[in-house]
C-alpha cells in the first residue's frame, strides 16, 4: 500500500515530555560504552584496505562497501562498437571537433533544464538550435528515442564547437548511465555511456516520536529509503495503525559515488524495526541464480503471500465482528470483513497473486471482485465504484495490481472498501489472520546465505548497542 499519507499523521496518545534527571555516574558509564560500541561498528564496516571513511551529517556514517561482484560492476559494460566511451567532461572541457581528429576545440557548454510542456525541439529552440539539427539528434540511433520523452526538472548538457554548431549532447539516465549524442561526420551517433560507481555503506537509526516519516528525516533517510523500509516490513507491521512512540529502526544501506561525488542511493542491505517491543529483522540476499529478496537472519522470507491491507485508507470505519448493527438495514448481523474508509476513486490492490473468480454486481456487496489464491484462500473487495480496465473473471492478477476503485455501491452509506479474507471457505479477521510466508532461501544456498549476510547481522547488532548507549 501507499504509506505516504500516513507518515505525517501524528501517533495517538503521545506521552507527555518528561524532565531528564542528571545521573553523573550513568552518564560516564554510557559515554564509555558508546565509545566502545562505536569503535566496534567502525571495525565491522571499515574496508579491508583501511581507507578512511568520509562522514556526512550526523546520524549518517558512510564507509566503502565491498560487495560481491556483479555482471555490470567494475569498469562498466563494454563500450559500444565504434569507439571507447569517453569520460564525462567538466564544464569548459574539450570536445573533439568534427573535422580535426586528435585536436580539441573549445566548446561552449550549457546545462539546460526541462520545463513543463517542453519537448526537445522547444528546449533547444531557446538556444537557437534549428529543427533540422533536432531531427538529426533524435534520429541518430535507437537509444536517442529517449529524447522524445523529457520530463520537467531533467537536465541536458549541450556542447557547441567553435562555429556554434552542436558538437555533443548528454542526457543523464541515472547514476550509472548517460545517453550521449555526438557529432560523427556529417551526422550524429547516439550511444549509452556506462559510469563505474563506487558502492559505500551508510547506516542510520531513529526513534518514532510522532511519525515514521519525520523520524526517518531526522535520521538522514530519504523519502525513497523510508518507503523502501516500510515496504520491507509492511507484511508484518501496519504503518498506519501499529506504530507507537518509542518504536525504533536501524538501517544499513548503499550510497553510490562517481569520481568521488555522491550521485545517489542504492538499496537497503539490512534493517531492523522494533514495534511494540517485538523485533523484526531483514537482510538483502541475491542467490547464485540472480533472485533477490529480503529474509530474516534465519533465511525465512519477510515477504508474505498477501499484503496486510489492500487500499490507502483514512480510517477503519468498521471492524470484523460477529454481531454488528447494520447501518442500512438497522438490524444485528455479522460483519465478516473490515471496512476501510477512503475517498471515492482510491485505487484498490490485490493483496496476493491469484485468479479472478468473480467480477460484477452481487447483492449488498455492490460492485465486487473475488480472487482465489491457490487452493485455500479467497479475498473479496466490495462496494467498488468501478473495475480496473481489462479485469474479468478468469484473469490472473499479481500482488499489488490495481483491480478497482473505492466507491459506495450496494448497501453502503459512504465510500469505503469492504475487504474479506477467507481460509478454506471460513471468514477470518483480515487484521489479525496469520498470513502465509513466501518461500525461504533454498536449502542448497543456505551456507552461501549465512556467509554473505553474517557481516550485516553483526553490523545491526553493533548499531543497536550504539543506539542504546546514546539513549542511556
Lowest-confidence pick of 26-40, 126-140, 243-257: 26-40
Among residues 33, 51, 39, the alpha carbon closest in space to that of 201 is found at: 51
Q: Are 59 and 218 in contact (CB under 8 A)?
A: yes
Average pLDDT over every residue of 315-320: 84
Q: Are 152 and 115 in contact (CB under 8 A)?
A: yes
Could you report the per-residue pLDDT of 30-55, keeping only the tens digit for each?
A: 555 555 555 555 555 544 433 333 33
Domain 24-66+198-303+453-471 CATH class label: alpha beta
pLDDT reading at 3 higher than 60: no
pLDDT on residue 33: 54
Q: Where are the beta strands (DSSP E) in 55-139?
A: 61-64, 95-96, 104-105, 108-113
Q: CATH classification of 95-194, choosing from 3.30.300.20, 3.10.450.350, 3.40.50.980, 3.30.70.20? A: 3.10.450.350
Average pLDDT over every residue of 69-90: 36
Provide the mean pLDDT of the chain: 79
Q: Which residues pair with 171 in a beta bridge?
A: 179
Domain ranges in the chain are: 24-66+198-303+453-471, 95-194, 315-428
pLDDT on residue 369: 96
Q: Is 360 or 438 the better-scoring residue by pLDDT? A: 360
pLDDT band at 336 (very low <50, low <70, confident <90, very high): confident
pLDDT on residue 42: 52
d(CA 421, CA 382): 12
Q: Which residues pair with 347 in a beta bridge?
A: 405
pLDDT on residue 411: 85
pLDDT reading at 419 higher than 50: yes
Average pLDDT over every residue of 348-358: 93
Could you report the per-residue pLDDT of 165-223, keeping only the tens digit for each?
A: 899 999 999 888 999 999 988 899 999 999 888 999 999 999 999 889 999 999 999 99
Q: Is 259 or 72 the better-scoring residue by pLDDT? A: 259
pLDDT on residue 319: 86
pLDDT on residue 62: 43
pLDDT on residue 236: 80
Q: Is 132 helix (H, G, I), strand (E, B) or coil?
A: helix
Could you report the per-residue pLDDT of 268-306, keeping only the tens digit for each?
A: 999 999 998 999 999 999 999 888 999 999 999 888 778
Instruction: Print burial letters for 268-289: b (CB count within 10 Å at least 16), e (below 16).
Output: bbbbbbbbeeeebbbbbbeeee
Q: Is 142 or 79 the better-scoring residue by pLDDT? A: 142
In the chain, pLDDT over 90 holds for what percent of residues?
Answer: 46
Provide the whole-model pTM: 0.56
pLDDT on residue 50: 36
pLDDT on residue 415: 93
Q: Do 24-66+198-303+453-471 and 95-194 have matching folds?
A: yes
Place of cell 538499496: 267
Task: At 45, list the grid cell.
Answer: 564496516
Among residues 1, 38, 45, 155, the alpha carbon closest in space to that of 455 is found at: 45
d(CA 467, CA 327): 49
pLDDT reading at 152 higher than 80: yes
Residues 315-428, CATH architecture: Distorted Sandwich (2.70)
For the ranges 15-29, 257-271, 426-440, the maximum mean pLDDT occurs at 257-271
pLDDT reading at 27 higher than 60: no
Average pLDDT over every residue of 452-471: 84
Among residues 183, 138, 141, the alpha carbon closest in space to that of 160 is found at: 183
Q: Where are the beta strands (DSSP E) in 399-456?
A: 402-406, 416-423, 426-428
The distance from CA 437 to its chain's CA centroid, rounded to whole angstroms, is: 21
d(CA 105, CA 84): 19
d(CA 139, CA 136): 5
Average pLDDT over every residue of 99-115: 67
Q: Are 137 and 164 in contact (CB under 8 A)?
A: no
For 294, the enclosing helix (H) or strand (E) is strand 292-295
Angle between helices 24-45 and 446-471 (to 10 degrees): 150
Amino acid at each position: 500500500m501507499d504509506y505516504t499519507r500516513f507518515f505525517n499523521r501524528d501517533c495517538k496518545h503521545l506521552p507527555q515530555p518528561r524532565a531528564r534527571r542528571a545521573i553523573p555516574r550513568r552518564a560516564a558509564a554510557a559515554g564509555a560504552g558508546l565509545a566502545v560500541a562505536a569503535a566496534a561498528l567502525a571495525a565491522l564496516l571499515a574496508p579491508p584496505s583501511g581507507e578512511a571513511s568520509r562522514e556526512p551529517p550526523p546520524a549518517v556514517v558512510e564507509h566503502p562497501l565491498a560487495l560481491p561482484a556483479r555482471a555490470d560492476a567494475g569498469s562498466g559494460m563494454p563500450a559500444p562498437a565504434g569507439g571507447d566511451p569517453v569520460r564525462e567532461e567538466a564544464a569548459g572541457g574539450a570536445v573533439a571537433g568534427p573535422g580535426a581528429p586528435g585536436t580539441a576545440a573549445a566548446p561552449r557548454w550549457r546545462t539546460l533544464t526541462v520545463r513543463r510542456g517542453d519537448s526537445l525541439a522547444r528546449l533547444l529552440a531557446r538556444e537557437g538550435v534549428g529543427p533540422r539539427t533536432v531531427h538529426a539528434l533524435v534520429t541518430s540511433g535507437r537509444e536517442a528515442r529517449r529524447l522524445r520523452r523529457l520530463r520537467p526538472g531533467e537536465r541536458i548538457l549541450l556542447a557547441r564547437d567553435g562555429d556554434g554548431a552542436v558538437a555533443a549532447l548528454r542526457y543523464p539516465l541515472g547514476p550509472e548511465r548517460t545517453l550521449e549524442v555526438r557529432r560523427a561526420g556529417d551526422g550524429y551517433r547516439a550511444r549509452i555511456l556506462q559510469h563505474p560507481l563506487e558502492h559505500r555503506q551508510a547506516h542510520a537509526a531513529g526513534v518514532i516520536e510522532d511519525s515514521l516519516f519525520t523520524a526517518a528525516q531526522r535520521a538522514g533517510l530519504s523519502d525513497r529509503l523510508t518507503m523502501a523500509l516500510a515496504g520491507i516490513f509492511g507484511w508484518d507491521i501496519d504503518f498506519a495503525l501499529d506504530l507507537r512512540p518509542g518504536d525504533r529502526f536501524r538501517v544499513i544501506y548503499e550510497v553510490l559515488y562517481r569520481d568521488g561525488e555522491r550521485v545517489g542511493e542504492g538499496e537497503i542491505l539490512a534493517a531492523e524495526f522494533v514495534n511494540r517491543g517485538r523485533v523484526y529483522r531483514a537482510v538483502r540476499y541475491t542467490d547464485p541464480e540472480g533472485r533477490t529478496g529480503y529474509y530474516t537472519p534465519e533465511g525465512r522470507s519477510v515477504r508474505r503471500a498477501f499484503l496486510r491491507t489492500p487500499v490507502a485508507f483514512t480510517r477503519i470505519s468498521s471492524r470484523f465482528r460477529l454481531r454488528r448493527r447494520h447501518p442500512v438495514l438497522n438490524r444485528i448481523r455479522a460483519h465478516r470483513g473490515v471496512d476501510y474508509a477512503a475517498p471515492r476513486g482510491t485505487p484498490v490492490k490485490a493483496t496476493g497473486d491469484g485468479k479472478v473468480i468473480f467480477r460484477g454486481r452481487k447483492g449488498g456487496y455492490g460492485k465486487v471482485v473475488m480472487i482465489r489464491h491457490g487452493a485455500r484462500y479467497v479475498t473479496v473487495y466490495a462496494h467498488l465504484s468501478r473495475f480496473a480496465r481489462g479485469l474479468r473473471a478468469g484473469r490472473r492478477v499479481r500482488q499489488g495490481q490495481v483491480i478497482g476503485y473505492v466507491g459506495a455501491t450496494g448497501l453502503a452509506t459512504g465510500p469505503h472498501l469492504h475487504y474479506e479474507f477467507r481460509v478454506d471457505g471460513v471468514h477470518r479477521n483480515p487484521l489479525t489472520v496469520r498470513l502465509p510466508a513466501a518461500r525461504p532461501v533454498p536449502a542448497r544456498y543456505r551456507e552461501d546465505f549465512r556467509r554473505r549476510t553474517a557481516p550485516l547481522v553483526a553490523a545491526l547488532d553493533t548499531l543497536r548497542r550504539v543506539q542504546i548507549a546514546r539513549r542511556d
